Amino acid sequence: MFKALVLEQDGNQTSSQIKQLDESNLPAGNVTIAVEYSSLNYKDGLAITGKGRVVQSFPMIPGIDLAGTVSSSADQRFKSGDKVVLTGHGIGEKHWGGMAEKAQVNADFLVPVAKGLDTKKTMQIGTAGLTAMLCIMALEDAGVKPEQGEILVTGASGGVGSVAITLLKALEYQVAAVTGRPENTQTLEILGASRIISRDAMLTDNKALDSQLWAGVIDTVGSHILAKALSQTQYEGAIAACGLAAGIDLPTTVMPFILRGIKLVGIDSVYCPYERRLIAWQRLAELLPASFFELACEQISLENVADYAAKIIQGQVKGRIVIKL
């Protein structure tokens, strides 16, 4: 038997309950994992509260990432005792996810825990941290260098934003952090933001082309704020877009693209190729300081998840939330 948070649906109403399940209930998969940690992401909040169409079938165990120890494997790439991490690949949406003491998954979904990390630190980074690293790699691939100017990070108080700021500082970029929560100013500055910009300042009327302020942008929110950032990005700058917390619309024009040569790069961490995931995880292990794990992470139990899911949707969660199984 193992403990799990189980989502069920009655009509349009989603409910969550902690249950004891038999291992025979586990879905098909060639690797069984004793899950040690998962984490709470915005997408998990949508799934648990039922405020987003995330879950594709019920009952579902949520949790779009997990880290733990292989207990059995029918795939030669992994053996009992291996430490592994799984992010994306539809877990918590199409396949049972990380908010359970056991998981059974396809070996193709897994990567080894990077050298220098353990399972707890891996989930303190989690999907959000992996996404942040992929965003920075996209800016690097686009030729954005520290000496070219500031990097704007939107949704700075969230999981992706807080990791992105820490990584950018480690790479010697100057960071301007956008947040709607002024009470988090000190934390963002400690993480590495050189200045804080009010979210309200990014919600003013947008121009097709505005003053050129940012060498690059990591955007986690979409909608009007992404459009504003586009209009303010420097000539031949780049934007890595990975979120939609403010909406899926993009009220902009072609002007930034055809007159300034700006690149808008979409970041998908869910099906990121294996080799790029390996590179991203190893860079995360090397770049994140010990202070990040102490400052930007909070640990909860499975019993706390439903409350925190509501908070993350309401924008009341700071940094990363780790779930100890």
Residue 12: what pLDDT?
A: 85
Could you tell me if 49 and 166 lie in one domain? Answer: no
- Residue 99 and residue 134 in one domain: no
The pLDDT of residue 11 is above 90: no
How large is the average pLDDT for residues 35-61?
A: 94
pLDDT value at residue 315:
84
Q: What is the CA radius of gyration of the chain?
A: 20
The pLDDT of residue 53 is above 90:
no
Q: Does 149 share its domain with 253?
A: yes
- What pTM, to 2 d.p., does this model score? 0.92
Do 135 and 211 reside in the same domain of the chain?
Answer: yes
Residues 104 and 169 placed together within one structural domain of the fold? no
For residue 185, is it within any domain? yes
Same domain, 189 and 236: yes
How many structural domains does the chain have?
2
For the chain, the distance separating the N- and C-terminal CA atoms, rounded to the nearest angstrom, is 14
Q: Is the residue at 134 inside a domain?
A: yes
Q: How many CB atoms lie within 10 A of CB 270?
A: 14
Q: Does residue 59 sit in the same domain as residue 172? A: no
Residue 197 is assigned to a structural domain of this protein? yes
Q: For 240-299, give the DSSP string.
A: EE---TT-S-----SHHHHHH--EEEE---TT--HHHHHHHHHHHHHH--HHHHHHSEEE
Give me the long-range contacts of 138-147 (CB less than 8 A, separation at least 24): 138/238, 138/240, 138/265, 138/267, 139/216, 139/218, 139/238, 139/240, 142/216, 142/238, 142/263, 142/265, 143/236, 143/238, 144/215, 144/216, 144/237, 144/238, 145/215, 146/171, 146/172, 146/173, 146/174
279 found inside a domain: no
For residue 319, being part of any structural domain is answered with yes
Taking the C-alpha atoms of 303, 129, 57 and 19 in order, what is their torsion angle to the nearest 10 degrees?
Answer: -20
The pLDDT assigned to 231 comes to 98
**Chain segment 113-133, per-residue pLDDT in tens:** 999 999 999 999 999 999 999
Q: Where are the alpha helices (DSSP H) in 50-184?
A: 119-141, 159-170
Residues 236 and 186 both lie in one domain: yes
Question: What percent of the chain has a predicted confidence (pLDDT) above 70?
Answer: 100
Residue 72, pLDDT above cutoff 90: yes
Q: Residue type for 80, please? A: S
| pLDDT class of 28 with cuts at 50, 70, 90 | very high
- 62 within a domain of the structure (yes/no): yes
Tell me: pLDDT of 296 over 90: no
Whether residues 262 and 173 share a domain: the answer is yes
Q: Confirm whether 45 is domain-assigned.
A: yes
What domain range includes position 72?
2-113+292-324
Same domain, 134 and 28: no
Residue finishing a domain among 266, 283, 302: 266
Say whether both 108 and 157 belong to one domain. Answer: no
CATH number of the domain where residue 108 is located: 3.90.180.10
Question: Residue 226: which CATH number?
Answer: 3.40.50.720
Per-residue pLDDT tens over the stretch 245-268: 899 999 999 999 999 999 999 999
282, part of any domain = no
Q: pLDDT digit string (tens) for 182-235?
A: 999 999 999 999 999 999 999 999 999 999 999 999 999 999 999 999 999 999
Question: Based on the domain organization, do 35 and 160 belong to the same domain?
Answer: no
Q: Is the Cβ–Cβ distance between 114 and 158 less than 8 Å?
A: no
